[in-house]
Chain A
Amino acid sequence: MKLFNNLFAYHFKCTARVFLPLILGVLLLAGFTKGMELLSKLLPFLTALYTFLLIISAFCTIGMFLCIILLSIRHFFRNMTSAHGYFLFMLPVKPSMHLSSHLFTYVIWLIFAGAAAVGCVFLLIPNNAYAQLGTILDQVFAVLQIGENRMITLMIVMVLLSATAFMCTIYAAISIGQLAKEKRAVTSFAAYIGIYMIEQLLSVCMLIVLFSIFGMDLFTSTAVLAENMLLSVMIGSSVLYVLIGTTSFLVANRLFSKHLNLI
């Protein structure tokens, strides 16, 4: 456990150098946009500037997630296939611990980014739109016939599971890519495409099965998803994410344990 903590602290420190200023920057921009909204009510000529900042802030919030995902992949790729791998693989820890420490760091940053994004949304929504947003969400939950607390909890679990499963597939792809002597990034990308195709195939199979359970056809039915079915789809997807994530993790662990090929 001590080694895992040390590894996590190392990865957190390495990534925090970029991620922390990124998250704080996006929050600061959202706060500044909020300030501009208030100011534009007093000085209407600032409305255009506020609108511009609002659009930039919204893009930056989405971009923050994209950056965290891409830079986490880069961090892992660099650590496991380049000269930096000499440090990690010199340590007396199993490859599974390397994988889980990278994964844990990534999930922690995703949670931080998620919390920051919620903060940004609340800051970016104009004051007069809060009530409207509440009404829209109530209508959505009413149509879906599902309790909002249960829906939000399920959504958070699903997002975390899918994000984790996605990163595990990336780890598996990189573990396949490192077997190549040259062009490891290209090989990893090709491996990811292969894994993605298998993942999509499994998703379609799962949906066909679920739809048939409810007496519907995936390709021809146009009915709105009922509560039970929606829940089934969400639970089915979660199970699939766990299955794909675990398999990918095991593949990556096996390849890094038995076929490590640092150049």
Chain B
Amino acid sequence: MTPILTCEHLTKTYGVFRALDDVSFTIEPGKIVGLLGENGAGKSTLLKILAGMLTKTSGRAQIDGNEPGVLTKSYVSYLPDKSYLNDWMKLSDLFTLFSGFFADFDIQKAKEMAKNLGLSEKTRLKAMSKGMQEKVHLILTMSRHAKLYLLDEPIGGVDPAARDYILDTILTNFSEDASILISTHMIADVEQILDEAIFLKQGKLILHAPVDELRETHHQSVDALFREVYRS
């Protein structure tokens, strides 16, 4: 099967600091992959490079055969770890905005998700709580019929009850041939939905394996393995 994402010797440096150091891996279509690591491990940097927000220093990244750029942005749906929307906009304005820019944006799906998550389309972002705003960002990201979803800390700022709902939303709103690369350090919460896990430490890829294989080999959960790896 042709990989949806290929990274070869991907490196990003800031002066002498190596935010990403010779990272190589591939992701096949239909997989949900956890990008795991402590703060500053390079998770967000990797996602930013793949989303075309940051330029790599060296190496190669290809998404469905193309380097990150204008073309890949039409089939990659990216959720940054910060709020990027104008807070005076209403949810309905955002739906119109996204449907005008992304051919794969499903406005009906977005409306349905907003309804299920208890969000009113007439409410302005500034009138919403931080958790509600995160849900809005997630709706906008997951309402696209993308080939690859890049989610940077999608459950970082929401309460535990909302986390399950968001993970369920992620699971039920992506097609079978699409892949998800999800960055988080809340491993216990996401472990249940992951097919594969990538461990990053100080910019280096230290482990990439199917989650089931990790559990069998190490006789522990991915969360426990993560704690063990990052304690040392």
Using a CB–CB distance below 8 Å, which chain A residues touch chain B? 2-3, 6, 9-10, 14, 17, 83-87, 89-94, 181, 258-262
| Sampled A-B contacts (14; CB under 8 Å) | A3-B101, A6-B97, A83-B82, A84-B84, A84-B86, A85-B53, A87-B84, A89-B52, A90-B51, A92-B70, A92-B102, A93-B70, A260-B52, A260-B54
| Any A CB within 8 A of the CB of B145 | no
Top 3 A-B residue pairs of the complex, sorted by shortest distance between their CB atoms: A86-B84, A92-B74, A92-B73
Contact B84 A92 (CB under 8 A): no
Residues A83 and B80 in contact in the complex (CB < 8 Å), given A91-B101, A261-B55: yes
Residues A258 and B83 in contact in the complex (CB < 8 Å), given A91-B101, A92-B73, A92-B101: no
Residue on A with the closest CB to B84?
A: A86
Contact A94 B97 (CB under 8 A): no
Contact A91 B73 (CB under 8 A): yes
| Any A CB within 8 A of the CB of B78 | yes
A6: contacting residue among B48, B80, B85, B101, CB under 8 A: B101
A85 to chain B, nearest CB (A): 7
Q: How far, in whole Å, are A83 and B83 apart by their CA atoms in the complex?
A: 7
CB-defined contacts of A10 to chain B, threshold 8 Å: 97
Q: How far, in whole Å, are A108 and B117 apart by their CA atoms in the complex?
A: 40
CB-defined contacts of B80 to chain A, threshold 8 Å: 83, 86
Q: How far, in whole Å, are A9 and B96 apart by their CA atoms in the complex?
A: 12
Contact B55 A260 (CB under 8 A): yes
Residues A92 and B71 in contact in the complex (CB < 8 Å), given A83-B82, A86-B84, A262-B48: yes
B79 to chain A, nearest CB (A): 9
0/1 per residue, B107-142, Cβ < 8 Å to A? 000000000000000000000000000000000000
B84: contacting residue among A14, A85, A93, A181, CB under 8 A: A85
Given contacts A84-B84, A90-B73, 5 further A-B contacts (CB under 8 A): A10-B97, A14-B86, A83-B83, A87-B85, A93-B70
B24 to chain A, nearest CB (A): 23
CB-defined contacts of A14 to chain B, threshold 8 Å: 86
Within 8 A of A (CB), among B60-114: 70-71, 73-74, 78, 80, 82-86, 88, 97, 100-102
Contact A261 B84 (CB under 8 A): no
Chain B CB count within 10 A is highest, among A14, A91, A260, for A91
CB-defined contacts of B88 to chain A, threshold 8 Å: 17
CB-defined contacts of B71 to chain A, threshold 8 Å: 92
Chain A CB count within 10 A is highest, among B74, B88, B101, for B101
Q: How far, in whole Å, are A259 and B101 apart by their CA atoms in the complex?
A: 23
Q: How far, in whole Å, are A92 and B84 apart by their CA atoms in the complex?
A: 16
B54: contacting residue among A9, A83, A87, A261, CB under 8 A: A261
